[in-house]
Structure formats: C-alpha cells, structure tokens
Amino acid sequence: MLSAKRFPLAPKSRYTSAASFKQGLFMRILVAVLILLSLPPRAFADVTDEVAELFQQNPDTTDLAAIKIAADHIIDPSINIADQLAQIDQMVETIQTMLPDNPDAWTRIRAIRQFIYEPGPWNDQRAFSYDHDDPYGLDVHNKLLGDYIQDRRGNCITMPFLFLILGQRLGLDVTPALAPLHVLVNFTDDQGETYNLETTSGAGLTRDQHYRDLLPITDAALDNGLYLTPLTREQSIAVIAAVVLDDLIARKQYGEAIAVADVLLAHHPRFAYVMVKKATAAYHLLQAEFYSKYPIASDVPAERVAELMVLQQVNQSAFEQAETLGWRPLMR
C-alpha cells in the first residue's frame, strides 16, 4: 500500500517575476480579490463558507463521523447525512455485542479489527479491504465514507477514518496522524502506551521507522510536526475537509480550491499536503490564463501583470513553505 508513488504535482511557475511582492495583508487582499473576480457569483462564498462551518462546533467534543459525513455532503449533496450516521450507530451497536463486560482498550481494538477485517455475521460476511485499484483515492468519490461502507473497498483516507470513528464511539483514545499522502491511527492504551495502527493492513502495529523506510519523511518534517504526530481535533477536521479541496481541483475550480486551502491552513498551518495542493491550483490558473496564452512574460497585457505576479507568488511561496517545513514529493 505504501509503495512510493508520486501524486500529480504542478511545477512551479516558469516565468520570472518582474518584481517581488511583499508578504502581508496587501498580498492576501489582492489574491482574494483576483480569485473572487474569476469565480461565478455564488461559488466562492458557498464552498468556503461550508468548509469554514465544519470548524464552528467545539472541536474537542465534535463527533468525527458527523464531520466526515458533512464534508462528504459538500461534495455530494445527495448524501443523506442522517442515514449515514445511522449506519455508523448500527456498526457501533454490533461491535458492542461482540464485547465482554468492562472491556479494556485492547479488547475493543480487537473487536473493531474483527468487525472490519474478518468476514462474519457482524458484517454480513463482507469484510472491508484495501482498494488496490485506487489506493490514493484519485477518484475523489472513493474518499467518501459512504462509498467505503457500501463497496467495502477503502484507501488511505476512508480506512483510517472509519476505524477512528468507531474507536471514538467506543471510548478509545485514538487520533489520526499523517505520513506523506497517508493517514494512520495513533492509539493510546490503558497503560498510556501509544502505538501506530496501520488500517490499510488489518490495523496492525506499525513502527515509525516503517513509514520512514518507505516514504520521504525528513528529519525536518518530524521536527516540524508534519508527520507521525497525533493531530489535534481541529487539525483532524482540516484533514477530513481536504477532500473538498481535492474535489475542487478535480473539477478544475482552481480559484475556489485556493480559497478553501486558505481556510484549512488557518486551522492546520503545517498541513503540507494542502500547501502543495494550493500551489498546484495556482499553477493550473497560471497555465490556463497565462502560459497557454502568452509564450513569454513580455506578451502579458499590462493590465494583467499584477494578476500574473500574484498567482506566481501563490504558486512559488506555497511550494517553498512546504519544502522549508521538510515536505518532499513522493518519487516513483
């Protein structure tokens, strides 16, 4: 599952800016104005507001299932939130019937493993498994929780978050942590010992070094908390909501994608995946609005130079910020 594979990245801007822009309020306002002008009247506010609303509840008490399904609903409004929450409730009730009285944390972990990964009456003889056809969820709909529950084939997003949701409902101390293009589960047992659980492989125990052996995890990335560090609930919501950003880019709504990326980064400032996606969205706007139209920078009309430079700055600074924190691309 974790074999190195580079996800589609846009290159940095190939133009050389005529002048540098100062970082600060002016730049943020100018970016917002330029992007807003490029969007349909309702689209900008609708999606960014919906994503922002995911963070409005108390992050320390909010049910991850409700957050995940609400984020999925932004992508697919046909999702019946109440029905999906009821499915989660039923799963939890089933697992509870598999437990003895007063189960300790490890007993509950084993019951969740059995419910998910072993075929039996608890899952209608349909165990959940890893989707080798789309392990990274490149088809955004494969990152939706309802899709995983329906077809029982998951990826590095749906598999850990279902485990986390069930674990949370059963009173376990479980939190997500990140690796490059991957989410894993941190579990703390009754003795206070913390372990990595790899949900794409039966939720088995997995050492940090395993991820470092397979993925580009630099010392700087660890020092800066990008990877293998338990996420706060607020950061977890940002990771869940990143699927909306993926969907916007897939639908070529790049201006909205940049706006949503800024919302996510406001709540998880070291979310390197979002930084790179933001840079990628800016590049696609550059490609569509400038590179494909004007072979060299001097061909750009004077009235559009400021827009060009802002998008270049977004593209370059987002990549550079991620790289400074220790992010590196996955290589084939």
pLDDT for position 61: 78
* Tens-place pLDDT, residues 156-197: 999 999 999 999 999 999 999 999 999 999 999 999 999 999
The rounded percent of the chain whose pLDDT value lies above 70 is 86
* Tens-place pLDDT, residues 1-31: 333 323 334 556 545 443 343 444 444 444 5
Query: Do residues 202 and 163 lie in contact, with contact meaning Cβ atoms separated by under 8 Å?
Result: no
d(CA 211, CA 203): 14
H or E stretch including 117?
helix 105-117
d(CA 112, CA 141): 24
- Domains detected in the chain: 8-59+232-332 (no CATH), 60-214 (3.10.620)
- pLDDT tier at 62 (50, 70, 90 boundaries)? confident
H or E stretch including 194?
strand 194-198
- The SS3 assignment for 195 reads strand
Record the pTM: 0.88
* Tens-place pLDDT, residues 69-102: 999 999 999 999 999 999 999 999 999 999 999 9
d(CA 196, CA 212): 13
